């Protein structure tokens, strides 16, 4: 079976004091999915500028289909300006408006979404009504909807996150996001499992995954919890590790019923990405297998 997924949302440059890095959660997910053998298309928009052309070349080099990445002749390619304070804590200025804020609906992206196994989307891409309206139309036509909650102040509201979770078949959050969202929506518990059950009932979504950084992840699916305690690696940086975890998890969970293996595989790939600099390092099958064979810390 030819597996087909579509990612929707921002493609951009993280501009750090040390230089710029290609990024955007949907782009990171699409690149990792493609590297794992899943035919992946990216729906986004770049500016008609040098930064856009460079971004397009990077995505193409990773073999992701870029035919649905639109070009805006007015707005610039997206940038996130990252500044560090004296203690090294980062703050982010996600430049608005950027080209990816104005992704338009088209016959082509509608057709591709209808034919795909699933559509993966995040919350940041909905900060502008143009991209948000496009996404809502695509969601109406998607077979299976995967919501990657990526809270980026000030570009979200709890009401909006609730709306999008109710549209989704699969919700992925990190543990900080889970606690913030669940408490805001009325969950009185202090455990990850209880918060997940609360959100599942509230949103009528039976598949929820929560990442816990170095401590692994928990997947709730078919009324069961599947945990993995993570892998010990020397962390270079955590940029894109959660995105690669999601891609690796989906490469298994959408096509097999072996959920423990899916969580283990996701944690392994996420850990390997964290052990390299940048969001999209090359990670080979041999690297993944070596980690699975030698550092399995299953609960």
- For the cut 70, the answer to whether the pLDDT of residue 299 exceeds it is no
H/E segment holding residue 291: helix 285-294
Tokens of 132: 């948000």
pLDDT band at 1 (very low <50, low <70, confident <90, very high): low
E strands present in the chain: 4-8, 12-16, 19-23, 39-47, 69-72, 78-84, 90-94, 118-122, 145-148, 170-174, 207-211, 217-221, 224-228
pLDDT tens profile 240-261: 999 999 999 999 999 999 999 9
pLDDT band at 189 (very low <50, low <70, confident <90, very high): very high
- For the cut 50, the answer to whether the pLDDT of residue 181 exceeds it is yes
pLDDT tens profile 140-178: 999 999 999 999 989 999 999 999 999 999 999 999 999
Tokens of 237: 């940086």
The answer to whether the CB of 118 falls within 8 A of the CB of 144 is: yes
Predicted local distance difference test score (pLDDT) of residue 298: 40
- For the cut 50, the answer to whether the pLDDT of residue 200 exceeds it is yes
Buried b (16+ CB within 10 A) or exposed e, 168-185: bbbbbbbbebbbbbbeeb
Residues 45, 72: Cα–Cα separation, whole Å: 7
Predicted local distance difference test score (pLDDT) of residue 162: 98
Predicted local distance difference test score (pLDDT) of residue 82: 86
Q: Looking up tokens 């990612």, which residue turns up?
A: 7
294: phi then psi, degrees, rounded to nearest 5: -110, -20
Q: Where do the H-state alpha helices sit in 78-128?
A: 107-115
3-state SS assignment for residue 80: strand
The pairing of strands 69-72 and 4-8 is unpaired
Q: Which H, E and C letters describe 178-224, residue by residue?
A: HHHHHHHCCCCCCCHHHHHHHHHHHHCCCEEEEECHHHCEEEEECCE
Partner residues linked to 8 by β-bridges: 43, 121
pLDDT tens profile 24-72: 999 999 999 999 999 999 999 999 999 999 999 999 999 999 999 999 9
Q: How far is CA 218 from CA 30, 70, 213, 292, in A?
A: 22, 36, 11, 17
């Amino acid at each position: 079976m030819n597996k087909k997924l579509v990612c929707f949302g921002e493609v951009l440059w993280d501009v750090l004091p040390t230089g710029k890095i290609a990024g955007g959660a949907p782009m990171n997910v699409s690149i990792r999915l493609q590297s794992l053998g899943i035919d992946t298309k990216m729906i986004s928009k770049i500016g008609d500028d040098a930064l856009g052309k460079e971004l397009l070349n990077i995505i193409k080099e990773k073999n992701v289909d870029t035919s649905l990445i639109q070009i805006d002749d007015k707005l610039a390619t997206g940038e996130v300006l990252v500044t560090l304070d004296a203690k090294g804590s980062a703050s982010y200025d996600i430049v608005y408006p950027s080209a990816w804020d104005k992704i338009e609906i088209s016959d082509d992206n509608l057709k591709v979404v209808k034919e795909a196994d699933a559509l993966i989307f995040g919350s940041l891409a909905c900060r502008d009504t143009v991209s948000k309206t496009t996404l809502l139309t695509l969601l109406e036509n998607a077979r299976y909807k995967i919501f990657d909650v990526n809270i980026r102040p000030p570009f979200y509201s709890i009401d909006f996150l609730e709306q999008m979770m109710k549209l989704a078949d699969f919700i992925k959050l990190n543990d900080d996001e889970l606690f913030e969202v669940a408490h805001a929506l009325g969950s009185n518990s202090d455990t990850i499992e209880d918060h997940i059950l609360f959100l599942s009932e509230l949103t009528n979504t039976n598949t929820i995954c929560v990442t816990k950084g170095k401590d692994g992840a928990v997947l709730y699916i078919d009324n069961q919890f599947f945990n993995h305690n993570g892998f010990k690696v020397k962390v270079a940086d955590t940029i894109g590790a959660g995105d690669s975890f999601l891609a690796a998890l989906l490469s298994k969970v959408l096509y097999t019923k072996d959920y423990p293996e899916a969580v283990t595989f996701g944690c392994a790939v996420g850990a390997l990405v964290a052990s390299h600099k940048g969001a999209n390092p090359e990670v080979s099958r041999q690297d993944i297998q070596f980690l699975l064979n030698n550092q399995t810390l299953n609960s």
